Amino acid sequence: MKALRKLIFTEFLLFVRAPESVFFVPGLPLLLVIVFGTILNPAGTPEELRGPLLSYFPAMVLVLTLAIMSILIMPSTLAGYREKGILRRLATTPTRPAMVLVAQLVVSGGMALATLLLVTLVGHFAFDWSLPAHLGAVAVAFVLGVLALLALGLLVAAVSRTGNAATGIGLFVFFPSLFLSGVALPTEAMSPELARISQFTPLGATMQGLRDAWGGTFPEQGHLLALVLITVVCGAGAIKLFRWE
């Protein structure tokens, strides 16, 4: 346990020292909250739009940040460790290579939680965004969404031989997901058929679950089951395909 704690601390230091990591977490969510908070004036928004907008923006910022961290940053880091032989060298020490994976998940989960608190508190106190109306539902949707996206990121890392390959595969997954999930384009602006399909993608199920919870209703069972299924399938695939060297 002592070695794992040291490894988690080391991975955290590496994360915060990387300029791209600091920009995307917490820099990007803070920037988006400021931009959208400045544009959106809750007091001047028509009542029929106020609720949907104030549930969309916090969920959008959260899911976008989680997707960048899980699908782009983490796979590139793990594949880079494999490419440079770091995992192979760790295998000769008491620190097992599997501990690096655990440390990455702990650091990513911790940064995800920090992002949730940042978006909620800055949005509320600086721009009068509504606080989550159903805290328990937010916790459920957030945890399941984080697990599903991290599992997806591990699968990307598992099939990537190098850090550059992980970045390329991650981008190939990332950009279509943004437009098919209700993140870049709200589901209200989609056709009914596409909107329905989008809610069962990894990003879409997370997005819809957080929007529902922010608005005061518990996420639909189908969205939560989709996240559990994605976690199991992607996690199992990552375990089967992952190679330490």
One digit per residue, the tens of pLDDT, for the chain of length 245 reads 777 888 889 888 888 888 888 888 888 898 989 888 887 765 555 555 565 677 788 899 999 999 999 999 999 999 998 888 887 887 777 777 778 888 888 998 899 999 999 998 998 898 888 888 888 999 999 999 999 999 999 999 999 989 999 999 999 999 999 888 888 888 888 888 888 888 899 999 999 999 998 888 899 999 999 999 999 999 999 989 888 77
pLDDT of residue 90: 75
Q: What would the two tokens of residue 242 be?
A: 């992952």
Residue 50: per-residue pLDDT: 60
pTM over 0.95: no
Cβ 170 vs Cβ 75: under 8 Å: yes
Locate 52 and state its tokens: 């949907």
The residue type of 185 is L
CA dihedral 220, 122, 39, 190 (to 10 degrees): -20
Provide the residue range defining the domain that includes 179. Answer: 2-241
The number of folded domains in the chain is: 1
The per-residue pLDDT for 69 is 92
Predicted pLDDT of residue 41: 62
pLDDT at 215: 83
Closest to 21 (Cα-Cα) out of 33, 31, 12, 32: 12
Q: Write the burial class of residue 80 (CB in 10 Å: 0-12 exposed, 13-18 middle, 19+ buried).
A: middle
